[in-house]
A and B are shown apart, each in its own frame.
Chain A
Amino acid sequence: MKPTAFKYVRADSIEEALSVLARYGEDVRVVAGGQSLGALLNMRIVTPPIVLDINRIVALSKVESGRAVVTGAMVRQADALSNGTIRRDVKLLALALPHVGHYQTRNRGTLGGSVAHADPSAEIPLVLATLGGEIELCSARRVRRVAAKHFFRSALVTSRGGDELITALHWPRATSDVETAFFEFAVREGDFAIVAVACAFERQAGRMRLGFGGCGDVPQVVEVSAPSGINTNAVEEIARDLSKQLDYRSDLLASANYRRSLATVLARNAMIASLEKARAYA
Chain B
Amino acid sequence: MLEVEAGAKTTIHFTLNGKPAKAEAETRMQLADLLRHVLKQYGTHVGCEHGICGACTVLIDGRAVRSCLIFAAQVEGSTVTTVEGLAGELGELNDLQMAFRKHHALQCGFCTPGILASATQFLNERAVASERDIRDMLSGHICRCTGYTGIVEAISATAQNRKSRDKKQTSTEKDE
Cα A53 to Cα B141 in complex, Å, equals 27
Provide the residues of chain B in CB contact with A5, threshold 8 Å.
6-7, 26-28
Distance in angstroms between the alpha carbons of A24 and B5 in the assembled complex: 14
* Bound Cα distance A89, B108 (Å): 46
- Tell whether, in the assembled complex, residue B49 and residue A42 are in contact, meaning their CB atoms are under 8 Å apart: yes
Contact with B along A100-126 (1 / 0, CB 8 A): 011111011000000000000000000
A27 to B125, CA, bound (A): 40
**Contact assessment for A190 and B139 in the assembled complex, using a CB-CB cutoff below 8 Å:** yes
B29 in contact (CB, < 8 A): yes
**Cα A49 to Cα B7 with chains together (Å):** 11
Quick check: is A162 within 8 A (CB to CB) of the other chain? Answer: no
* B51/A1 in contact, CB under 8 A: no
Per the bound structure, the CA–CA distance linking A8 and B71 in Å amounts to: 10
Find the residue from A8, A55, A104, A189 having the highest chain B CB count within 10 A.
A104
Chain B residues lying within 8 Å of A98, measured Cβ to Cβ, are 136
Contact A42 B50 (CB under 8 A): yes
Chain B residues, Cβ within 8 Å of A41: 28
Closest chain B residue to A106, Cβ basis? B140
Task: Answer whether residue B118 sits at the interface, using C-beta atoms and an 8 A cutoff.
Answer: yes
Partner of B122, one of A9, A103, A108: A103
Provide the residues of chain A in CB contact with B68, threshold 8 Å.
Answer: 38, 42
Chain B residue with the shortest CB-CB distance to A76: B63
Q: Is the CB of A38 within 8 A of B51?
A: yes
Q: Is A9 a contact of B70 with CB atoms below 8 Å?
A: no
A51-B27, A103-B118, A104-B54 known; A189 and B3 CB under 8 Å? Answer: no
Assembly CA distance A41 to B121 (angstroms): 27
Cβ proximity bits A126-150 to B, threshold 8 Å, 1 near / 0 not = 0000000000000000000000000
B73 on interface, CB distance cutoff 8 Å? yes
Q: Are the C-beta atoms of A7 and B5 separated by less than 8 Å?
A: yes
Q: A108 near B65 (CB under 8 angstroms)?
A: yes
Q: Does B30 contact A (CB under 8 A)?
A: yes
Give the Cβ gap from B7 to chain A, nearest Cβ, in Å: 5
**Bound Cα distance A41, B29 (Å):** 11
List chain B residues, Cβ under 8 A from A31. 71
User: Can you name the residue of chain B whose Cβ is closest to the Cβ of A4?
Assistant: B28
Contact: A12 with B1, CB < 8 Å?
yes
- Which of A1, A9, A49, A104 sits near B66, CB closer than 8 Å? A104
Q: Which residues on the B side are within 8 Å of A247 (C-beta)? A: none
Q: How large is the interface on A (under 10, 10 to 19, 20 to 34, 35 or more residues)?
A: 35 or more
- Tell me if B130 is interfacial: C-beta within 8 Å of chain A: no
List A residues at the B interface (Cβ < 8 Å): 1-12, 16, 31, 34-35, 38-39, 41-43, 49, 51, 53, 55, 78, 98, 101-105, 107-108, 188-190
Taken together as a complex, chains A and B put the C-alpha atoms of A184 and B102 apart, in Å, by 37
**Which residues from 136 to 153 on chain B have a C-beta closer than 8 Å to any C-beta of chain A?**
136-137, 139-141
List, in ascending order, chain B residues with CB within 8 A of A78's CB: 63
Complex contact A35–B28 (CB within 8 A):
no
Is B74 an interface residue, CB under 8 A from the partner? yes
B1 touches A11 (CB 8 A): yes
Give the complex CA separation of A78 and B49 in angstroms: 22
Q: Taking the nearest CB of chain A, how far is it from the CB of B54, in angstroms?
A: 6
- Is A8's CB under 8 angstroms from B65's CB? no
B51–A7 touching, CB < 8 Å:
no
- CB within 8 Å for A8 and B57 given contacts A102-B139, A105-B66, A189-B139: no
Q: In the bound complex, do residue B140 and residue A3 qualify as a contact, i.e. CB atoms below 8 Å apart?
A: no
The answer to whether A1 and B50 have CB atoms under 8 Å apart is: no
The reply to whether B118 and A104 contact each other, CB–CB distance below 8 Å, is: yes
CA–CA, A39 to B51, complex, Å?
7
CB distance A16 to B70 under 8 Å? no
Q: B64 an interface residue at 8 Å Cβ cutoff?
A: yes
Nearest chain B CB to A211 CB, angstrom units: 24
Query: Are A104 and B136 touching (Cβ within 8 A)?
Result: no
The interface residues of chain B lying within 8 Å CB-to-CB of A16 are 1
Within 8 A of A (CB), among B37-66: 49-51, 54, 57, 63-66
Query: 8 nearest interchain CB pairs?
Result: A102-B140, A38-B69, A8-B27, A39-B50, A5-B6, A10-B2, A189-B139, A104-B140
Q: A8-B4, A10-B1 are in contact. List 18 more A-B contacts (CB 8 A).
A: A1-B30, A2-B30, A5-B27, A8-B27, A8-B73, A34-B71, A38-B66, A38-B70, A39-B69, A41-B28, A42-B68, A78-B63, A103-B137, A103-B139, A104-B64, A104-B118, A107-B121, A108-B69
